[in-house]
A = this chain, B = another copy of it.
Amino acid sequence: MSSSFGQIFRATTFGESHGGGVGVVIDGCPPRLPIAVEEIQRDLDRRRPGQSRLVTQRQEADEVEILSGVFEGVTLGSPIALLVRNTDARPQAYDHMKDVFRPSHADYTTQAKYGVRNWQGGGRSSARETIGRVAAAAIARALLRRVAGVEVLAWVSSVHEIDAVVDLDSVTLDDVEATPTRCPDPEAAARIEAAIDAARRAGDSLGGVVTCVARNVPVGLGDPVFDKLDATLGGAMLSLPAAKGVEIGSGFAGTRLTGLVHNDPFEPGPDGRPITTTNNSGGIQGGISNGADVVLRVAFKPTGTISSEQKTVDRDNNPVTLAAKGRHDPCVLPRAVPLVEAMTLLVLADHYLRQRAVDVLPPLDG
Known pairs A8-B1, A356-B360; A108 contacts B209 (CB<8 A): no
Sort chain A's interface into a size bin: 35 or more
Determine whether A123 belongs to the interface, using a CB cutoff of 8 Å to chain B. yes
CB-nearest residue of chain B relative to A22? Answer: B68
Ordered by A's residue number, 22 sampled pairs between the chains whose C-beta atoms are within 8 Å are A2-B228, A3-B25, A14-B79, A75-B116, A77-B113, A103-B276, A107-B286, A110-B286, A112-B220, A112-B273, A158-B255, A206-B258, A207-B262, A235-B235, A238-B248, A245-B247, A251-B299, A254-B302, A255-B300, A257-B302, A259-B306, A267-B313
- A106 interface neighbour in B1, B31, B287, Cβ under 8 Å: B287
Which residues of chain B are within 8 angstroms of A250 by Cβ–Cβ distance? 244, 301
Determine whether A201 belongs to the interface, using a CB cutoff of 8 Å to chain B. no
Which residues of chain B are within 8 angstroms of A194 by Cβ–Cβ distance? none
Determine whether A334 belongs to the interface, using a CB cutoff of 8 Å to chain B. no
Using A12-B27, A78-B123, A209-B252 as known contacts, list a sample of 7 further A-B pairs with CB atoms less than 8 Å apart, ordered by residue number in A. Answer: A14-B69, A19-B67, A28-B358, A104-B264, A109-B219, A112-B220, A205-B259
CB-nearest residue of chain B relative to A101? Answer: B266
Flag A161-186 by CB within 8 Å of B: 1 or 0 each: 10000000000000000000000000
Cβ-defined contact, B19 with A304, below 8 A: no
Which residues of chain B are within 8 angstroms of A103 by Cβ–Cβ distance? 263-266, 276
Determine whether A311 belongs to the interface, using a CB cutoff of 8 Å to chain B. yes
- A232 interface neighbour in B4, B235, B299, B355, Cβ under 8 Å: B235
Determine whether A149 belongs to the interface, using a CB cutoff of 8 Å to chain B. no
CB-nearest residue of chain B relative to A241? Answer: B286
Determine whether A88 belongs to the interface, using a CB cutoff of 8 Å to chain B. no
Which residues of chain B are within 8 angstroms of A219 by Cβ–Cβ distance? 109, 112-113
Cβ-defined contact, A105 with B285, below 8 A: yes
Cβ-defined contact, A319 with B267, below 8 A: yes
Known pairs A123-B78, A260-B308; A114 contacts B32 (CB<8 A): yes
List 10 A-B pairs, minimum CB-CB distance, nearest first. Answer: A106-B286, A235-B235, A2-B223, A205-B259, A357-B357, A109-B288, A113-B220, A20-B67, A231-B239, A234-B238
Determine whether A280 belongs to the interface, using a CB cutoff of 8 Å to chain B. yes
Flag A284-318 by CB within 8 Å of B: 1 or 0 each: 11111111000000011111101010111100011
Determine whether A81 belongs to the interface, using a CB cutoff of 8 Å to chain B. yes
Cβ-defined contact, A364 with B232, below 8 A: no
Most chain-B Cβ atoms within 10 A of its Cβ — which of A5, A248, A255?
A255
Determine whether A118 belongs to the interface, using a CB cutoff of 8 Å to chain B. yes
Determine whether A237 belongs to the interface, using a CB cutoff of 8 Å to chain B. yes
Q: How close is A320's CB to chain B, nearest CB, in angstroms?
A: 9
Q: How close is A47's CB to chain B, nearest CB, in angstroms?
A: 16
Flag A60-104 by CB within 8 Å of B: 1 or 0 each: 000001111101001111111101000000000000000001011
Which residues of chain B are within 8 angstroms of A308 by Cβ–Cβ distance? 260
Determine whether A246 belongs to the interface, using a CB cutoff of 8 Å to chain B. yes
Cβ-defined contact, A238 with B227, below 8 A: no
Known pairs A224-B78, A299-B254, A311-B265; A113 contacts B30 (CB<8 A): no
